Amino acid sequence: MKHIGVLAVQGDVAEHVTAMRDAVEACCVKADVLEVKTNAALSRVDALVFPGGESTTIGKLLRNFKLDAGIRTLADSGVPIFGTCAGLVLLAKEGDAQVAKTGQPLLGVVDMKVARNAFGRQRESFEAMLFIPVVGKEPYHGVFIRAPAIERVWSKAKTLCEFEGSIVAARQENILVTSFHPELSGDLRLHELFLSLL
């Protein structure tokens, strides 16, 4: 039995737990989905979902709970990690001027530079149909909420999807990241892609 953790310090944890359980059932994977709040729980997972939320707050909580080093260890050891929205920001190696201004902590595990709130503030949130070849020809319903964007990728990181000139999904070996919220789309294809990394 595999253990898939959803980081549960802040953000849309319940939505990710539900979507991942649905994907586990759809893929007939023998896996438990659990919330992760401690290093003890983190050490038990075979995969980790890093939800969206408020990235500065999540970054500070990771440091306070001493979870940041454990997440880096998971990433370096090849454990699959799925970072969405704020999770994408925190996994990046580089940030834009806004990241620097806010003192945003970064875990530095994905070869990418991110722009916080690249598509505007909360009131500029939107939905759009995306084309993500790795999950098939059918358009993917992207839900962007105060979304970041990836300004560039290099080395091991590869672009999976662009929207209006910005990279909004990428993969670096065992790590999958999206600017948008796949747990809110009702489309399980990205969760199923993530499960295939197990």
The one catalytic residue among 16, 161, 181, 191 = 181
Residue 162 annotated as catalytic: no
The one catalytic residue among 85, 138, 162, 164 = 85
The one catalytic residue among 16, 161, 183, 191 = 183
HEC profile of 122-176? HHHCEEEEECCHHHCCCCEEEEECCCCEEEEECCCCEEEEEECCEEEEEEECCEE
Residue 181 annotated as catalytic: yes
Residue 183 annotated as catalytic: yes
Q: Would you name the residues annotated as active-site residues? A: 85, 181, 183
